[in-house]
Structure 1
Amino acid sequence: TARAAQGVTTEEVHAALHAAYAHEPFVQLLPPGQWPTTGAVLGSNQVYLQAVADAHSGRVTVVSAIDNLTKGAAGQAIQNANLMAGFAETSGLTEMGVAP
């Protein structure tokens, strides 16, 4: 949760997140109203994001889900090694999880 500029809307937050992560292969911004679950990212290197702005409190809340054994440990190590070695960031990593 973070304070936002007065009048910031959920749509504006989504637009900013989309612009920031549009070219990141493992970051998925979910459609409004769809919340991330750990089951959806199980066995993948994905992070699912959802954000909502609350006009009453002036805060933005961002919720994320990762598989802590893949994105949080082994997958992160492979992703970083790929980048350090000049390989494609996605080499050896699946975007598909084990759950639908």
Structure 2
Amino acid sequence: MNTHSSFNTSLTDSQLNAACDALRARQNRQIERQMKMQRALVAIMRQWWKRARQRAALRRQLMEMDVALIEKDIGVPAGTLGEEAYKPFWKH
């Protein structure tokens, strides 16, 4: 027994098929949006991982070198390389 007495059951097959097609299209668009967001998130995570590895390598190299001399040679203010090396990976 149908508990929704106002429920219209007089749809034709073509109307029902059209409604199903519209629902599938909407679901496909939602899936595409979710996949796009996931791809963007993966790209961000890759960039963060790359930065983290670069900064870790820079920290290791800085421990072995005369940082003040290098900064003077490349023309950056004192402390710049250390700031970059110890910057959190999520900051550009």
TM-score (norm 1): 0.22
Higher strand proportion, which one?
A: 1
- The higher relative CO (CA closer than 8 Å, separation ≥ 6) is in 1
Larger gyration radius, structure 1 or structure 2: 2
